């Protein structure tokens, strides 16, 4: 039912609106963050399962902040949502920017780029989870200037069908590798390779790639870097740090392919190569 109601039907009000304003203004201190967690729990209880329509990163989004940590962060504390990564990404945006977002979730990264890159950008947002994909598409449609194409598939080392394990506690941690929760459910989804994906779009280059697939980054990136033309190698790569789960030494492979690490955060590694 929520998808049939126009944006704004679930705008926050009353105490929930006040809590969101406070958490979005919170500072990066231990006490302030503890307060945001407490207030967030209060707000979620008062929302009672309803979505929230709100603007974040200059984009309109409908968020379901319950079993998806990404949606909780984007709703309550967007200032803490990968701030360094977004700063670096924004500084590289130019006319005709090409961005590929693998593991797009509800579209926070893709919409952030769209709001800064303008109508000339080409943005590809890939999300294999059916429910999350529907939310991604809804969010894209609320922003008329967003030049984002959403694709509902997984990305793997070969095309075909793969098993996607969905974590019921946090859908953002779902992966084609077995996730930590013993309660994870499994569904079959269509998969393609990164090279086939960008080839089908006719891309001649990629300015930036964001890769967040819960430990499966290696099975996507290794064959692409080894087999794709160097002209397709992204200038900038933001990759979730899955060092403990990767079967390939990705940092070494990236360095061998001409990349250098320019940033390391709590969650991600950022690599860049010279033009």
Task: State the pLDDT at residue 165.
Answer: 86
- Same-domain check for residues 232 and 194: yes
Q: How far apart are CA 82 and CA 65, in angstroms?
A: 18
Task: State the pLDDT at residue 74.
Answer: 98
- Same-domain check for residues 219 and 190: yes
Task: State the pLDDT at residue 214.
Answer: 84
Spatial CA neighbour of 162 closest among 186, 132, 182, 138: 186
Spatial CA neighbour of 57 closest among 81, 35, 39: 81
Mean pLDDT on 200-216: 95
Work out how many domains the chain is built from and give that number.
2
Q: To 10 degrees, the CA torsion angle through 191, 197, 201, 206?
A: 140
- Same-domain check for residues 58 and 185: no
Q: Which residues span the domain enclosing 38?
A: 2-74
Q: CATH number for the domain including 176?
A: 3.40.50.150
End position of a domain, from candidates 74, 103, 136:
74
- Same-domain check for residues 129 and 249: yes
Mean pLDDT on 159-188: 75
Cα–Cα distances (Å) from 87 to 56, 209, 273, in that order, read 15, 15, 17
Note the pTM of the prediction, 2 decimals: 0.94
Task: Map tokens 């360095």 to a residue.
Answer: 255
Q: At residue 128, does pLDDT exceed 80?
A: yes
Q: Are 120 and 96 in contact (CB under 8 A)?
A: yes
């Amino acid at each position: 039912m929520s998808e049939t109601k126009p944006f704004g039907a679930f705008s926050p009000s009353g105490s929930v609106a006040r809590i969101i304003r406070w958490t979005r203004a919170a500072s990066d201190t231990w006490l302030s963050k503890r307060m945001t967690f407490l207030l967030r729990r209060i707000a979620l209880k008062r929302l009672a399962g309803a979505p929230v329509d709100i603007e974040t990163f200059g984009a309109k989004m409908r968020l379901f902040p319950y079993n998806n940590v990404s949606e909780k962060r984007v709703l309550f504390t967007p200032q803490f949502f990968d701030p360094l990564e977004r700063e670096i990404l924004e500084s590289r945006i130019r006319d005709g920017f090409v961005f590929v977002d693998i593991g797009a979730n509800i579209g926070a990264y893709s919409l952030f780029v769209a709001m800064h890159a303008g109508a000339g950008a080409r943005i590809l947002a890939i999300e294999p989870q059916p429910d999350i994909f529907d939310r991604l598409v809804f969010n894209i449609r609320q922003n008329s200037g967003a030049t984002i194409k959403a694709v509902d598939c997984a990305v793997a080392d070969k095309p075909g069908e793969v098993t996607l394990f969905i974590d019921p506690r946090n859908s953002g941690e779902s992966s084609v590798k077995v996730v930590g929760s013993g309660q994870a459910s499994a569904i079959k989804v269509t998969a393609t390779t990164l090279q086939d994906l960008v080839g089908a779009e006719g891309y001649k280059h990629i300015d930036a790639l964001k890769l967040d697939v819960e430990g499966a980054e290696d099975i996507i990136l290794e064959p692409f870097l080894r087999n794709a033309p160097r002209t397709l190698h992204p200038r900038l790569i933001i990759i979730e740090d899955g060092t403990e789960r990767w079967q390939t030494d990705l940092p070494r492979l990236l360095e061998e392919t001409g990349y250098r690490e320019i940033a390391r955060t709590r969650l991600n590694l950022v690599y860049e190569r010279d033009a």
